[in-house]
Structure 1
């Protein structure tokens, strides 16, 4: 189904069909395949039944059974972005409005794959509806309800919780702080037996080393590294001394301990989800009130924005988020991020949305800016949201690349993203499992969401 069409596209004949069965050709495009860092210039992409059937140079004629040709106008095609640390809204009393809005916010920003990090049974229904085409949205990979000091009461109950989430059909497990070592070890043992991946925050009673050695697949927020580098662990355990995410003790981290931690991360094949933008916005020195009216906030309710302001304000009132405290902490995190990346630890594109001042879709572009400022190359940034995310769920080559046989999941942008990351902010066309959404349709959905949350 074609969801509207851009004025600059050349339509030879339009034929509508249901589902993902339509056959069409996108001509005159340059392709960033993400199989490598090269661009295939002047190509055509033949799409059939939601798959890329063929990629052909423009110098060669393509015969196909369909009758729709879209002129790509010399723009660039790449596999789209990812949000691999997302908190998908819950459908309250069957009301899916916020869920559907969130799906559109991702699509409108070229985000085609999302990993949910605090699950709910309504997310399973949402995933089914997205997969069937009933609801428009990106690929969804879901965690169940999180394991934490509040949700886990014993090792036996933790094991049953793992079994229940696996049986329900969740894709992975999310761990939050507050777990004892016995509870964590039972979660690890049961998850390995059931072959369901797990990861998340690092509980202080467990620590980074034990988390890595016992199967953490992803370390969210690069959690646990600072704590593992501080000699006097009793200070880490005192929140009045440590501050949020151990911000106030970053000067006590011993850099000589980092190489061994990096080696262990590599040895255990763990991934990192940096969420740089979460720390830049939530724990940055920019006052909370200044975020109230930044452009993308118009897509969130006034109540949601106020709750984010309320979450940050107490840290400001306590004098924690001064530039003197914040800047060394953010610098440390950027250096840690690049140290891990340059050592070969795989990175998952993630921003933690919708979380404090991180609007779904839009926050990924802020994350990309911060990854670039930290020193990551454009190609590696794109890789973190394409090839890496597919590989994380053992689906490498099925999506996250633009190649023959892969799912037709890609985005059309004006400039070469390998040279210009800002072009990613303005997708001219999004293709999701063969469904085509042009800029007019994406803007229409954004306008609808804005109207739903119009400020009085």
Structure 2
């Protein structure tokens, strides 16, 4: 009788194993907890396995429920946490005037930090070719969206501005970058022509334009929040000071005049207009915050930048904080005002996008996004809400939810393996154990090896 029971038990095991469905996949990430970012509420799929075929996720299931074909590469997730690839929505890609190795290093620094999508905010003809190479996996790079060269004024006529809009649209740039310095007539011409040819325009809001007009005109993203500070201020604005961050950083001097009671009103107006905001809070925190620049420069990530660049950043911060209009008290009030604006925009349903502005003063590409996430949480968002600004929200903004923004079957395999749960502590967003971009796997060891090689160039 006992022999029969044992026989039946073993037979059952064999039948169970043979009936396990086989999934066609070339890569499998086992033993992970999946944070899909699919819903408004936090959800973690415990003890999961993710199957990837070419550049797509084909199945997310409980561990041991399905088997992969023998040829599949098995990646042990080690009980880590898998999130969608992050985005840097105010990135800078070096221009073609730079050494190609430096350009490649910057792109890799983004990717090494789990950033699988970047939005280049100062376009260059080379960036169109880099975009193509990234799409074809010809270089280690996030997916690239790029503006054309910036619109900063000095046009002979509004018609010249219109012509430049048409030229950039025909060249294949994804959007137009607006800089300070445009007259209202030039801005209106650009907005009208962009609407006519079907290309979005984003970036700064010129002082001649103001927040309300930019919302009316349909500017897609508003970067840096400075015009919100201006809109909240009760007194008239000195446009020369507002537009020169080297003198008064992004309207900081207007802080005492700002009417905080109007934040909700302006945030609702932003939501109604459908405009997105890229706060770049890390830039403001690093540039005008009270941290000593020499101390900031000791952060480990600065070994990936040249000593000359780091010294320039130190001197830039010293110049701004040494201005007679600067004080630490004013800086603290200004940074808190910006946090209040971020929270107000979020509470009123105005879209926020993750972007830090890098490489820029004390913002090392890739690494600064993790600082940005922490600053967004400090503004009052939960870690989950902060992560959505760089995942789900990015896909919504790009009208690409069918392919990206969440971890789901059928979507592009852009994902980041973290050693610890970022929902418990947003600082865990940089505990990167591996990055998958468009179905390509970068292990933690390979990332470290390539980062060390970049650091050696700057010793």
Q: Same fold (TM over 0.5)?
A: yes
- Other structure's SS at 1:78 match: strand
Runs of 4+ aligned structure 1 residues displaced above 6 Å come to none
Rounded to whole Å, the distance in 2 between the matches of 1:194 and 1:380 is 34
From 157, 163, 167, the equivalent of 1:164 is: 167
Distance of aligned partners of 1:29 and 1:287 in 2 relative to their CA distance in 1, 3 Å threshold: closer
Rounded to whole Å, the distance in 2 between the matches of 1:238 and 1:81 is 35
1:13 corresponding residue in structure 2: none
Q: CA deviation at 1:304?
A: 1.2
Between stretches 433-442 and 74-83, larger displacement belongs to 74-83
Rounded to whole Å, the distance in 1 between the matches of 2:433 and 2:260 is 45
Task: State how 1:145-156 maps to structure 2 within 5 Å.
Answer: 145-150=149-154, 152-156=155-159
1:390 correspondence with 2:395: yes
From 113, 120, 128, the equivalent of 2:117 is: 113
2:33 corresponding residue in structure 1: 30
1:205 correspondence with 2:203: no
Rounded to whole Å, the distance in 2 between the matches of 1:133 and 1:270 is 32
Rounded to whole Å, the distance in 2 between the matches of 1:255 and 1:29 is 44
Q: CA deviation at 1:237?
A: 5.0
Q: Cα deviations across residues 275-332 of structure 1 (Å, max 9, x unaligned)?
A: 1110011122323333333221110011211222232222233234421221111111
Between stretches 203-212 and 124-133, larger displacement belongs to 124-133
Contact 1:278 1:355 in 2 (8 A): yes
1:412 correspondence with 2:417: yes
Q: Cα deviations across residues 255-289 of structure 1 (Å, max 9, x unaligned)?
A: 34433322220111001101111001112232333
1:132 corresponding residue in structure 2: 136
Contact 2:420 2:431 in 1 (8 A): no
Rounded to whole Å, the distance in 2 between the matches of 1:166 and 1:271 is 21
Rounded to whole Å, the distance in 2 between the matches of 1:50 and 1:194 is 32
From 103, 115, 120, the equivalent of 1:99 is: 103
Rounded to whole Å, the distance in 1 between the matches of 2:426 and 2:438 is 24
From 399, 410, 423, the equivalent of 2:428 is: 423
- Other structure's SS at 1:115 match: strand
2:53 corresponding residue in structure 1: 48
- Other structure's SS at 1:428 match: strand
Distance of aligned partners of 1:118 and 1:78 in 2 relative to their CA distance in 1, 3 Å threshold: same
2:307 corresponding residue in structure 1: 302
Q: CA deviation at 1:404?
A: 0.4
Larger-gyration structure (1/2): 2
Rounded to whole Å, the distance in 2 between the matches of 1:422 and 1:257 is 32
1:449 corresponding residue in structure 2: 454
* Cα RMSD, aligned residues only: 1.9
From 212, 218, 222, the equivalent of 2:221 is: 218
1:338 corresponding residue in structure 2: 343
Contact 1:56 1:62 in 2 (8 A): no
Could you list the runs of 5+ residues in structure 1 that have no partner in the other structure?
Answer: 1-20
1:144 correspondence with 2:153: no
Rounded to whole Å, the distance in 2 between the matches of 1:29 and 1:195 is 42
Larger relative contact order, structure 1 or 2 (CA cutoff 8 Å, min sep 6): 1
Contact 1:23 1:65 in 2 (8 A): no
1:82 corresponding residue in structure 2: 87
Q: Cα deviations across residues 339-387 of structure 1 (Å, max 9, x unaligned)?
A: 1111111110010000101000111111111111111101111100001
TM-score computed with the length of structure 2 as normaliser = 0.90
- Other structure's SS at 2:351 match: coil
TM-score computed with the length of structure 1 as normaliser = 0.90
Rounded to whole Å, the distance in 2 between the matches of 1:54 and 1:153 is 56
Rounded to whole Å, the distance in 2 between the matches of 1:280 and 1:354 is 15
Rounded to whole Å, the distance in 1 between the matches of 2:133 and 2:89 is 20
Distance of aligned partners of 1:315 and 1:291 in 2 relative to their CA distance in 1, 3 Å threshold: same
1:194 correspondence with 2:197: yes
1:123 corresponding residue in structure 2: 127
Q: Cα deviations across residues 4-32 of structure 1 (Å, max 9, x unaligned)?
A: xxxxxxxxxxxxxxxxx971222221111
Equivalences, count:
432
